[in-house]
Amino acid sequence: MSTDRPAAPAIRTARAADLEGASAVLAEAFAEDPVMRDFLPAHGDRRARLALLFAALMRSGPLAAGTVDVAVDADGRILGAAVWEAPGGVPAHRLLLRAPLFLRALGIRGVLRAAGHLAAMHRARPGLPHWYLAEVGVGSAARGLGVGSALLAHGLARVDASSAPAYLESSTERNRALYRRAAFLELGLIPGLASSRPAAMWRPAGVAGA
């Protein structure tokens, strides 16, 4: 019986042609996420709506900025994706340009709920310039193979090269444990959200060499 493990995935910057695959992987990864459930409509294909949502988020700036990373196997299939925002974030006008996509994904009520979530999460973010890990997810076929950790390490290498801190929100204790191992500190639960209470996490600048 063979005991060979699958080859480690290659991590690279996403291209425009990767948008559909990266969106699909993130939609699969977040299908049961409590934060997403709060503002997705109960009817319709939730995974298809999530894919539209993630595509809109990536098109609003991170994809063109080169801060979307994908993990691919030897055949080029996308196994996971991570979406980062550089210090300064995504300008509001770029989000507005994608408003039709957000409406298709969430509907009017969903957009309003999402806006409330985003406002609460934005209030919790530190005022210092920082990298923001907006999303990281791995498809079910590749879970448990270290793909998420590889994506995180790749992104943090870019963060550390810029000598900047990093910030994220995490909805599950399992994920928070992963981030703590990567030198993130838990700041506490984010207030102001109706049912989901993600934790804010902060990684100070310079910890890679500490």
Residue 145 above 60 pLDDT? yes
Residue 168 near residue 84 (C-beta atoms within 8 A): no
**What pTM, to 2 d.p., does this model score?**
0.89
Residue 132 is assigned to a structural domain of this protein: yes
Residue 73 pLDDT grade (very low, low, confident, very high; cuts 50, 70, 90): very high
Any bridge partners for residue 203, and if so which? 166
What's residue 36's pLDDT? 82
What's residue 1's pLDDT? 43
Residue 1 is assigned to a structural domain of this protein: no
Residue 2 above 50 pLDDT? no
Residue 110 is assigned to a structural domain of this protein: yes
Residue 149 is assigned to a structural domain of this protein: yes
Residue 127 is assigned to a structural domain of this protein: yes
> Considering only CA atoms, which of 172, 28, 148 is closest in space to residue 82?
148
Q: Domain limits at 191?
A: 10-209
In 76-204, alpha helices (H): 92-97, 99-124, 147-161, 173-181
CB contact burial 117-136 (16+ within 10 A = b; e otherwise): beeebeebbeeeebbbbbbb
Residue 45 near residue 6 (C-beta atoms within 8 A): no
Cα–Cα distance for residue pair 66/112, rounded to 1 Å: 29
Cα–Cα distance for residue pair 208/159, rounded to 1 Å: 10
Residue 92 pLDDT grade (very low, low, confident, very high; cuts 50, 70, 90): low
Residue 111 is assigned to a structural domain of this protein: yes
Residue 3 is assigned to a structural domain of this protein: no
Residue 2 is assigned to a structural domain of this protein: no
For 150-198, what is each residue's pLDDT tens digit? 999 999 999 999 999 999 999 888 899 999 999 999 999 988 765 677 8
What's residue 154's pLDDT? 97
> Hey, how many other C-beta atoms are within 10 angstroms of the C-beta on 67?
22
What's residue 182's pLDDT? 96
For 10-66, what is each residue's pLDDT tens digit? 999 999 999 999 999 999 999 888 778 777 777 778 899 999 999 999 998 999 999
Question: Residue 69: helix, strand or coil by DSSP?
Answer: strand
What's residue 34's pLDDT? 75
CB contact burial 16-52 (16+ within 10 A = b; e otherwise): eebbebbbbbbbbbbeebebbebbbeeeeebeebbbb
The number of C-alpha atoms within 13 Å of 57 and in the hemisphere containing its C-beta is 26
Residue 101 pLDDT grade (very low, low, confident, very high; cuts 50, 70, 90): confident
Total domains present in the chain? 1
Report the CATH number that the domain containing residue 185 is assigned in CATH. Answer: 3.40.630.30
The kind and range of the H/E element at 27 are: helix 19-29
